[in-house]
Structure 1
Amino acid sequence: MTSTTPAAPPSALDLPIPVRWTDLDAYGHVNNAAMVRLLEEARIAAFWQPPAEQLALGAPVPPAALPVGGSGAPVSTVIASQRLEYARPLGHRRDGVVVRLWLSRIGGASLSVEYLVLTRDDPEGRAPYVRARTVVVLVDAATGAPVRLAEEARQQLLRLQGEPLRFRD
């Protein structure tokens, strides 16, 4: 573990995410825009509740559902900021990656989501490929105004809270 990688909380989520052939750039590395999509897939898997009809068909239940939904839901999310720091190139991996995810801040209407992009041969996260943070804001889908996180959701999310990543200057 490097000095810029604090220990994730014991309850951090390790989410397997596939790396697709189309994620690669001309140099054979996962493209920076594709990396943002990999983080998005992890965030969706962790927090976004599928509609009831999809759950009935076997869609996975997220480990920590936010009070948001898809099209037509009263509450949605927007990304307020995103920072990625690449430690080394990531090539195509048939075994995919593991995105370790936790929360460093739970605000009134926003969350800071921390990520480490790892591979299965480095479960301790000693040499992550990417360190990242996304600030997610809950908003009223009709007006775009911030919506406070309900106390029940806040309590559920507290188990994922840990130290923020430290980035290079």
Structure 2
Amino acid sequence: MRFTYECALRWSDLDAYGHVNNARFLTLYEEARVALMFVGARQAGVTSMEDGIVVSRHEVDYLRPVDYGDPVRIELWIEELRTAHFTVAYELYDGELIASRARSVLVPYDLVKRRPRRLSAAEHDFLKPWLKT
């Protein structure tokens, strides 16, 4: 199952060539990820993800430029789900065309103790339906 997020583009997303700046793709992916893991999780009664999830790796493939215009659509899913980390995979669509693919490895993190932690059972159960097998 995929989570779908529509994201409006902003003038500040553009580079000198009038395309969405390559670094801004990570911001767009972050917005979609936050919508699932914070907003969606909170609606499901899981608030612990807001207490600490950090990115340990990003990987982005840029397939075509994205111009300012209509909102882009980001589809994401969980590619791998482990006890101490998980991988989110994304596709960013400009209209019906895939403009970018990406992956982020995320680590549950205890911000108070300043160290990685394991996913709670509730977090694991929340993420599991998004796992693409």
**TM-score by shorter chain over 0.5:** yes
Q: In the alignment, is residue 113 of structure 1 matched against residue 94 of structure 2?
A: no
Is the 1:46–1:64 contact (alpha carbons within 8 Å) kept by the matching residues of 2?
A: no
Which residue type is aligned with residue 65 of structure 2?
A: P
Q: What is the aligned partner in structure 2 of residue 32 from structure 1? A: 22
The alignment covers a number of residue pairs equal to: 133
Could you tell me which runs of 5 or more consecutive residues in structure 1 were left unpaired when the two chains were aligned: 1-10, 51-60, 70-74, 164-169
Which residue type is aligned with residue 123 of structure 2?
A: A
Q: What is the aligned partner in structure 2 of residue 96 from structure 1? A: 71
Structure with the larger helix share? 2
Counterpart secondary structure, 2:130: coil
Partner Cα separation in structure 2 for residue 84 and residue 136 of structure 1 = 15
Q: What is the aligned partner in structure 2 of residue 166 from structure 1? A: none
What root-mean-square deviation, in Å, do the aligned CA atoms of Structure 1 and Structure 2 show? 2.2
Normalization by structure 2: what TM-score? Answer: 0.90
Tell me: CA distance 1:64–1:134, structure 2 relative to 1, closer, same or farther (3 Å): farther
Q: In the alignment, is residue 85 of structure 1 matched against residue 61 of structure 2?
A: yes
The percentage of counterpart residues that share the same residue type is: 30
Tell me: CA distance 1:32–1:141, structure 2 relative to 1, closer, same or farther (3 Å): same
Equivalent in 137, 141, 147 of residue 117 of structure 2: 147
Residue 144 of structure 1: CA displacement? 2.1
Residue 109 of structure 1: CA displacement? 2.0
Which residue type is aligned with residue 62 of structure 2?
A: Y
Could you tell me which runs of 5 or more consecutive residues in structure 2 were left unpaired when the two chains were aligned: none
Equivalences for 1:1-169 in 2 at 5 Å?
11-49=1-39, 65=46, 67-69=48-50, 75-93=51-69, 95-119=70-94, 121-122=95-96, 127-162=97-132
